[in-house]
Structure 1
Amino acid sequence: MNTLRKHLPYIINSFNYKYDNGRIEGINNKIKVINRVAYGYRNFNHYKNQILLHFNLKAIGKGTKQSNQNKSCPKAA
């Protein structure tokens, strides 16, 4: 009963809000599997690219911020 009383506000919040961390837990699990399978990678960039490829993500480069800022900021006349 003490454990239930201690965690009761969090349990109530889980019913009140639709958010959970299931998606993040799944991503972490996939990364751990890739890590076990990809033990032989010599280069961290290859490992990182495998993760990005698996989740269809795009890498953030140094020039990405500049190109996004130029597109979103209108030029003054």
Structure 2
Amino acid sequence: MKTLRKHLPYTKNSFQYTYNNGRIEGINNKIKVLNRVAYGYRNFNHYKNRIRIHFKLKPLVKTPNTSDKNKSHARAV
């Protein structure tokens, strides 16, 4: 009973709100399974790309930093 009383507010919240971390836990589980199956990737970038392919994610595109542009412009002047 003591444990139930201690966790009662959290249990009420789980019924009140529809948010949970099930999707993230599933993704983590799939990555762990891939890690076991794909043991031996020599290149970490290949491993990251395999995860992206599995989840159909787009690669991150790095955008140039505006402060870098200002620095290069300041040097040219």
Q: Which amino acid aligns with 2:59?
A: A
Query: Runs of 4+ in structure 1 displaced over 4 angstroms?
Result: none
Deviations along 1:16-54, whole A, 9 cap, x unmatched?
Answer: 001111111100000000100111100000000000110
Q: Which has the larger radius of gyration?
A: 2
Could you tell me how far 1:61 is from its partner in structure 2? 2.4
Corresponding residue of 1:31: 31
Look up the SS of the partner of 1:45 in the other structure.
Answer: helix
- Tell me how large the CA RMSD over aligned residues is: 1.7
TM-score by length of 1: 0.78
> CA 1:6–1:65 in structure 2 vs 1: closer, same or farther (change >3 Å)?
farther
> CA 1:54–1:65 in structure 2 vs 1: closer, same or farther (change >3 Å)?
farther
TM-score by length of 2: 0.78
Question: Residues 1-77 of structure 1: matches in 2 within 5 Å?
Answer: 1-63=1-63
Partners of 2:65 and 2:30 in 1: CA distance: 28
Unaligned runs of 5+ in 2: 67-77
Unaligned runs of 5+ in 1: 67-77
Identity among equivalent pairs (%):
73
